Amino acid sequence: MSSKKIVRLGDDRTGAGGQALPFAPAVRAGDFVFISGQVAMKENGEIEAGGIESQTRKTMENLIAALALADCTLEDIAKVGVWLDDPRDFWTFNRVYASYFPNGGPARSTVRSQIMVDAKVEIDAMVYKPLD
């Protein structure tokens, strides 16, 4: 793979009702990988039922799956952005999130924002993984 081109990975996904999603879950640009915002979307395109704990776990599973499209893992992440629908969910979110990074996590920004779908959390990531 040439390091001078942009490669979109996994851009054949669908959301609720089989609607095509107009973005790639992962994009490699040279030594960098950008992961689109992941939410607690199940295979059928519906959002995981339940509270912030179950939605954070599903969102992290989806993040791990998007990373795998570019042969990356959580250990390769340089920075994540997190959007929470309700700031009262922060401490529960943080506890679940931390369980995925037992040795300390990447740089992170966390903000409160109304999310476009009926999700409680969204996470994107910037990854540095050199092509060898």
Task: Tell me the domain boundaries of the chain.
Answer: 6-128
User: CATH classification of 6-128 is 1.10.260.40, yes or no?
Assistant: no
Residues facing residue 75 across a β-bridge: none
* 43-71 pLDDT tens trace: 888 899 999 999 999 999 999 999 999 99
Quick one: tokens of 34? 């950008």
Residues 58 and 47: their CA atoms lie apart, in Å, by: 9
HSE-up (13 A, CA, CB side) for residue 132: 3
Quick one: CA dihedral 89, 95, 99, 103, positive or negative? Answer: positive
HSE-up (13 A, CA, CB side) for residue 45: 10
pLDDT at 5: 86
Low-confidence residues of the chain: pLDDT under 70: 1-3, 11-23
pTM of the model: 0.89
Residues facing residue 107 across a β-bridge: 79
